[in-house]
């Protein structure tokens, strides 16, 4: 028992050390700031600038959050405060199924539905010529993927707020809406932030679905209709040829290292928010 526990506990350190050792070649030869902020990505001539990928990842992730955050908030409040329990009982399996659909299937759905929708309707609507494979497409697909994840946590948080708090507020003459806005929301805020943070970390590391619809063009995106490239997509797309070019494998492992560190830190910070929520 102890052995398996230690094995599991050592896993993150193993991951970190393994990836660090592998990407050491790259970190050793280049400045870290050059790697992170250089725009040039030409592995064949030894130029590794991760800036376009990092920016692409940030665009896609933030846009997905902007789309899914209000939907999750509104739905969670609705099903926990306004409707009967039956609604929650119907919504739960729906969330489970959404959460269970594999990312490849989301990607395929994105190609089938979202990409044509953007190139045929949304692009012309804003007067942009686009193939459909874009930051926006990736963000839309991604936002649907993280909705079940965030929504589940927020619903749990709203359900865990003691009913006395609500009763006290109502008995003081506040309307239901005022109670939600000023009492429940305030109480749940650290938990809500944490839920979105977890969702964000998840979105940042999502690979297949994003890679299938984002367009995979190494260029700084200028708008949401531009194609982009993300860090996970970079790793997944190039694993085949990474042994043929010197330092290429180290570069890809460095990308994995960035993902690991970012997701780790995000989760770490969000756990403090959850801890704060539990304290009060």
Partner 1 sequence: MKKAGKTEEKIFKVLMIVSTYFIFAVLALIIYSIFEKGIRAMSWEMITQPPSGGYYYGKGGGILNAILGSLTLAIGSTVLAFLLGLPVALFINVFLIRWKKLVSFIRFLLDLIWGIPSIVYGAFGFTVMVFLGIQTSLLAGIITVTLFILPIMIRSMDEILRTVPIGLMEASYSLGSNKSETAFRIFTRQTVSGIVTALLLSFGRAIGDAASVLFTAGYTDNLPNSLMEPVATLPLSIFFQLSSPVPAVQDRAYASALVLTLIILVVSIFSRGVGRRYHKTKINF
Q: Is 125 in the site for partner 1 (CB under 8 A)?
A: no
Task: Work out whether 96 is an interface residue with partner 1 (CB under 8 A).
Answer: yes
Q: What minimum distance in Å lies between the beta carbon of 137 and partner 1?
A: 15
Cα separation, 28 vs 230, whole angstroms? 24
The H or E element spanning position 47 is strand 47-48
- How many CB atoms are closer than 10 A to CB 149? 18
* Nearest residue (CB) to partner 1, 67 versus 135: 67
User: In angstroms, rounded to a whole number, what is the distance separating the alpha carbons of residues 17 and 30?
Assistant: 19
Binders in 206-235 for partner 1, by CB under 8 A: 206-208, 212, 232, 235
- Nearest CA among 13, 209, 21, 18 for reference residue 111: 209
Least separation in angstroms between residue 103's CB and partner 1 is 7
Rg of the chain over Cα atoms, rounded to whole angstroms, equals 22
Distance separating alpha carbons of residues 116 and 82, to the nearest angstrom: 37
Nearer to partner 1, 116 or 124 (CB): 116
The binding track of 49-68 with respect to partner 1, each residue x by CB under 8 A or -, is --------------------
271 forms part of the interface with partner 1 (CB under 8 A): yes
Check residue 144 for interaction with partner 1 (CB under 8 A). yes
Site string for partner 1, 103-122 (x = CB under 8 A): xxxxxxx-xxx---------
Q: Does 246 bind partner 1 (CB under 8 A)?
A: no
Query: From CA 228, how far away is CA 53, in angstroms rounded?
Result: 8
Instruction: Give the Cβ contact number of residue 1 at 10 Å.
Output: 5
Note whether 173 binds partner 1 by CB under 8 A.
no
Query: With binding defined as CB under 8 A, does residue 172 bind partner 1?
Result: no
Instruction: Determine if 133 is a binding residue for partner 1 (CB under 8 A).
Output: no
Spell out, one character per residue from 3 to 42, where the chain touches partner 1: x when CB under 8 A holds, - when not: -xx-xxx-xx-xx--xx-xx--------------------
Give the integer Cα–Cα distance in Å for 230 and 258: 12
Contact 163, 118 (CB under 8 A): no
């Amino acid at each position: 028992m102890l052995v398996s526990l230690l094995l599991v506990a050592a896993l993150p350190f193993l991951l970190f050390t393994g990836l660090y050792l592998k990407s050491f070649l790259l970190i050793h030869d280049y400045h870290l700031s050059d790697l992170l902020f250089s725009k040039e990505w030409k592995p064949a001539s030894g130029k590794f600038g991760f800036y376009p990928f990092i920016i692409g990842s940030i665009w896609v992730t933030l846009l997905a959050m902007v789309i899914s955050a209000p939907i999750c908030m509104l739905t969670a409040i609705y099903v926990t405060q306004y409707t009967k329990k039956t609604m929650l009982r119907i919504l739960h399996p729906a969330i489970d199924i959404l959460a269970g659909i594999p990312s490849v299937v989301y990607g395929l759905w994105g190609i089938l539905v979202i990409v044509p929708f953007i190139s045929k309707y949304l692009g012309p609507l804003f007067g942009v010529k686009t193939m459909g494979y874009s930051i926006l497409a990736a963000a839309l697909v991604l936002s649907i993927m993280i909705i079940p994840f965030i929504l589940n946590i927020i619903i749990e948080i709203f359900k865990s707020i003691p009913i006395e708090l609500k009763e006290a507020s109502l008995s003081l003459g506040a309307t239901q809406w005022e109670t939600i806005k000023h009492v429940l929301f305030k109480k749940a805020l650290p938990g809500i932030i944490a839920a979105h943070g977890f969702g964000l970390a998840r979105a940042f590391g999502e690979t297949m679905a994003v890679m299938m619809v984002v367009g995979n063009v190494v260029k700084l995106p200028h708008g949401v209709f531009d194609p982009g490239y993300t860090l996970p997509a970079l790793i997944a797309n190039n694993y085949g040829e990474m042994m043929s070019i010197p330092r290429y494998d180290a570069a890809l492992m460095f990308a994995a290292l960035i993902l690991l560190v970012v997701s780790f830190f995000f989760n770490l910070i969000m756990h403090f928010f959850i801890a704060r929520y539990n304290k009060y």
